[in-house]
Amino acid sequence: MSRRRSKPWLHRWSRPIVGAIALLGALNTGYITATKLMGEAAACPTSGCETVLNSPYAFVLGQPLALFGFLAYVAMAIFALGPLWVNPDAQKDLRLKLENSTWLLLFLGSTAMMLFSFYLMYIMVTEFVVPYGPQAVCFFCIASAILATAMFGVTLLGRTWDDVGQLLFSGLIVAVITVIGTLGVYANVGQAVDDGYNIVSGEGRVFFSITETSGNAEIELARHLEAVDAKMYGAFWCPHCYEQKKLFGVEALADFPYIECAPEGQSPQVEVCQAAASQLEAAGGQFGYPAWEINGKIITGRRSLEELADLSDYQGPRDFKNTL
């Protein structure tokens, strides 16, 4: 009488393990997404981590990249754990069908996520760690790459695949699509716009480019803010600072009262920014980018041009072209 061969432990626990990894990934990316959508800074263990999390590589289609990562991890958790909710005794055929179909989805999804994470690790090292040093390491990004790789490994080894050749072919197709899509999404990142206003780091790396034109009202408001000694405090990597500058447009930015606060930026005035931060915090406020100092008062966050005009007692034309 032959004994039935028992499943390896990894095959028995592979779905719960993948599901747990995916949920950890969702927590990681969900936290970053929440901070970006609320305009808050992430609790980074390194001083330059925010540079990575606020770079053009951290946004896709105008939304935080972490949001798409969060959705991907949630989908992987559903693929891994969903079939376990089907009773194998009462609905055996449905359970088997869901397991077979979701295993392929888990493999293809983890393949794409792992390769995309590898590309982001390459970007982090070459574009941030090498020029800025170890303080630019993004541990949230490393954690996501490790989790995506772990999902791939457990998915690949967590079951017996009947057609390995078909599996490899499907993985190759997904890999090619992922690489081409990634390169396409980031094709224009870091490219200067000839007729635009390019926001760059101290080493000349382009983080954002503004192409919106200015109307007469935007130009006059910028000149007025300069004349009344108003200041906008910001950082070259700050997306909200970029959005604030976009409201003024290319021509108006020639007379824009901007103070660079990031030590890695062009002509930084760190001590001036620290003094403004201390002044605001002494009054019970919290300093963040962008911050405006107008008529001796410091306010934070993006502001409409109408609001800036009111705060600075601007009396010129107000037919502003650009709005929040």
Indicate the SS3 state at residue 6.
coil
How deeply is 25 buried, as exposed, middle or buried, from its count of CB atoms within 10 A (0-12, 13-18, 19+)? buried
Is the pLDDT at 2 greater than 60, yes or no? no
For 13-61, the pLDDT digits (tens) are 999 999 999 999 999 999 999 988 877 778 888 766 777 887 888 888 7
pLDDT at res. 3 = 52
- Does residue 22 contact residue 80 with C-beta atoms inside 8 Å? yes
For the chain, how big is the Rg over CA atoms in Å? 25
Residue at 321: amino acid letter:
K
Reading the block at residue 132, the tokens are 């800025």
Domains 9-185 and 197-311 share a fold: no
Residues 286 and 300: beta-carbon distance below 8 Å: yes
Residue 18 is predicted with a pLDDT of 96
Distance CA 137, CA 117 (A): 14
Q: pLDDT by residue (tens digit) across 90-122? A: 788 888 888 888 999 999 999 999 999 999 999
Show the CA angle centred on residue 78, arms to residues 74 and 83, nearest 5°.
Answer: 170
Mean pLDDT of 249-268: 92
Q: Domain ranges for the chain, please list them.
A: 9-185, 197-311
How far is 97 from 57, CA to CA, in rounded Å? 39
Label residue 131 by pLDDT band (50, 70, 90).
confident
How do residues 57-89 score in pLDDT, each as one tens digit? 888 877 889 999 999 999 999 999 988 888 877
Nearest to 245 by CA among 185, 200, 276, 310: 200
CB-count exposure of residue 237 (10 Å: 0-12, 13-18, 19+) = buried
How many Å apart are CA 131 and CA 112, to the nearest integer? 28
- Decide if pLDDT at 243 tops 90: no
Closest CA relative to residue 21, chosen from 94, 98, 85, 114: 114
The reported pLDDT for the residue numbered 285 is 87
Give the class (CATH, top level) of 9-185: mainly alpha
CATH 3.40.30.10 holds for 197-311: yes
Check whether 255 has a pLDDT greater than 90.
Answer: no
Q: pLDDT tens digits, residue range 196-236?
A: 899 988 888 888 889 899 999 999 999 999 999 999 999 98
Mean pLDDT of the chain: 89
Angle, vertex CA 146, rays to CA 142 and CA 148, nearest 5: 115
pTM of the model: 0.73
